[in-house]
Amino acid sequence: MVEVIDSIFSIFVQGICLSVVLVRALKTKRREWQLLFMFYAVYFFSSIYWLLYVIFYDESPAYTHIAEFGFYVSYLVMIMILQDVRDKEMDGVRYKRLFFIPVFTWGMAGYYIWFSEGDYISNIICAALMTSQIWGAVKGILYNKKKNKNYPEKLLYRSVLIICTMEYLGWTASCIWFDVSWTNPYYWFDMMFSLSLILLIPGIRRVVEK
Amino acid sequence: MNYIENIYICLAAPLIVSIFCLNTYRRRMILLLLSGMTMCLLSSYISTFVASAYGMPVELIAIEVSPMVEEIMKILPVLFYLLVFEPKWSWVVGSSITVSIGFATFENVCYLLRNDTSNIQYLIIRGFGTGTMHVVTGMIVMFGMQVVWEKLWLRLAGTLALLSISVVFHAVYNILVSHPGVPAYVGYFVPIATACVTLIIKKRADKHNETETKPDQFSE
């Protein structure tokens, strides 16, 4: 029951975000909104598929990973958004601090692989996508901080980092706590993750209004 | 037992002949229709192979394997058409839907030959439901392509995103219709509702774009 409530809450939040972004994308015809629409659409339909599967079969999809494919693609779309909004002069700049990011993401992937005793492919894909997302956001923050403290991409970059943090907290909690109840922090992190997706809308709006 | 290759040959024969008799635009449309039917045939082989390789229960094939296989196969002719022929956008618009129509038609014919065809009410619901679902996924790809195709770096990720949306939409439909009663009726209604909403949105978007060039797909 907890899992179903959590999924319904996520779908509700994503559905609202999807509707808002659809209207914005149609009105402004800006690529940033269209990409964000794709991000929400992929996430929304993947969550619905996951929920229906859990309701009808009382377990997670076992053979193929249609929902996971959707989640990974939504990360990829997020990387595209970060790529689209970046300052083009940023490309040639290097920051040594950024190399802490792959250390963290691949370290976490190693932990998840060790914990799950397998599941190499999905953890490797996740680590690669998460590295790119966090890299893009942190690089954007480091680059823009020196130029202008109130740069328009600030909220978008921070939102991406909050989303990634919630995702990692959820994944880690699911390795430690297994009970299907409200005492399991995983469900709380998952709901906070869903709520943090809302932040992308004002984040993109500021970029578009730049 | 259904010999779907035989059905395919029988359906494809008049289309193949017609290719030699038509002008450029109509020939391309027939080729896309034919490629949709061919992809349906190949999807059937691949889904069966994947299911037997995994040792999957029959019930789960439609939910976990078919959506992925069918949508990937459906997007291939569209990508081939875009990358090799580099057509005008006015020609591209219908390509994805035409492939979907070919796919849905062949799938429906195979379904009719395999199952009881006496219940017209059910067949109408199923025909409109499944047919529309394939057209809707084609529309998703078609509309999305116009957004993601303008920049090279967007193409790969954008195409994957569109593919993912169509796969999950297809999978959600299959889950719903595989459960008799209310879920099935909701499932049959979802593609029709989505198609209506999409067309309304498209009409509104077209109104804003009236100044843009008009499609010239029927010109020689």
* Residue contact B164–A70, C-beta within 8 A: yes
The answer to whether B154 contacts chain A (CB < 8 Å) is yes
Q: State the 10-residue block means of pLDDT for chain B, 220 residues long.
A: 81 88 84 92 89 81 86 90 81 82 89 79 80 86 79 81 89 88 87 85 71 47
pLDDT of residue A128: 92
Q: How far is A166 from chain B (nearest CA, A)?
A: 23
Looking up tokens 């059910």 gives B122
Domain ranges in chain A are 2-208
The answer to whether B72 contacts chain A (CB < 8 Å) is no
Point out the residue among B147, B157, B205 whose CB comes nearest to the CB of A76: B157
- Residues from chain A that touch B187, judged by Cβ atoms under 8 A, are none
Total number of domains in chain B: 1
ipTM of this complex: 0.83
- Residues from chain A that touch B56, judged by Cβ atoms under 8 A, are 63
- Residues from chain B that touch A61, judged by Cβ atoms under 8 A, are 63-64
pLDDT of residue A13: 92
**Three-state SS across chain B?**
CCCHHHHHHHHHHHHHHHHCCCCHHHHHHHHHHHHHHHHHHHHHHHHHHHHHHHCCCHHHHHHHHHHHHHHHHHHHHHHHHHHHHCCCHHHHCCHHHHHHHHHHHHHHHHHHHHCCCCCHHHHHHHHHHHHHHHHHHHHHHHHHHHHHCCCHHHHHHHHHHHHHHHHHHHHHHHHHHCCCCHHHHHHHHHHHHHHHHHHHHHHHHHHHCCCCCCCCCCCC
Mutate to test the interface with A, among B66, B75, B168 (most CBs of A within 10 A): B168
Q: How far is B164 from chain A (nearest CA, A)?
A: 5
Mutate to test the interface with A, among B64, B149, B164, B182 (most CBs of A within 10 A): B164
Q: Determine the structural domain holding residue B19 and report its residue range.
A: 4-208
* B186 in a structural domain: yes
* Residue contact B165–A31, C-beta within 8 A: no
pLDDT of residue B217: 45
* B62 in a structural domain: yes
pLDDT level of residue A86 (50, 70, 90 thresholds): confident
- Residues from chain A that touch B167, judged by Cβ atoms under 8 A, are 66, 69-70
Point out the residue among A35, A53, A63 whose CB comes nearest to the CB of B175: A53
Point out the residue among B64, B158, B162 whose CB comes nearest to the CB of A66: B64
Point out the residue among A42, A64, A80 whose CB comes nearest to the CB of B65: A64
pLDDT of residue A51: 87
pLDDT of residue A92: 78
* Residue contact A56–B158, C-beta within 8 A: no
- Residues from chain A that touch B147, judged by Cβ atoms under 8 A, are 31, 34-35
pLDDT of residue B138: 85
Q: Greater confidence, A79 or A67?
A: A79
The answer to whether B158 contacts chain A (CB < 8 Å) is yes
- What separation in angstroms does the CA of A190 have from each of A1, A2, A169, B209? 15, 12, 9, 41
* B170 in a structural domain: yes
- Residues from chain B that touch A50, judged by Cβ atoms under 8 A, are none
| A70 → chain B, closest CA residue | B164
Q: Which pLDDT tens digit goes with each residue over A96-149?
A: 888 898 999 899 888 888 887 777 888 898 899 999 999 989 988 888 887 776
* B216 in a structural domain: no
String of DSSP letters for A62-125:
-S--HHHHHHHHHHHHHHHHHHHHS-GGGGG---GGGGHHHHHHHHHHHHHHHHHT--HHHHHH
Q: How far is B208 from chain A (nearest CA, A)?
A: 9
Q: Which pLDDT tens digit goes with each residue over A168-207?
A: 998 888 888 878 788 888 889 989 999 999 999 999 998 8
pLDDT of residue B210: 64
Distance CA B89, CA A26 (A): 19
pLDDT of residue B214: 47
- CATH classification (class only), A2-208: mainly alpha
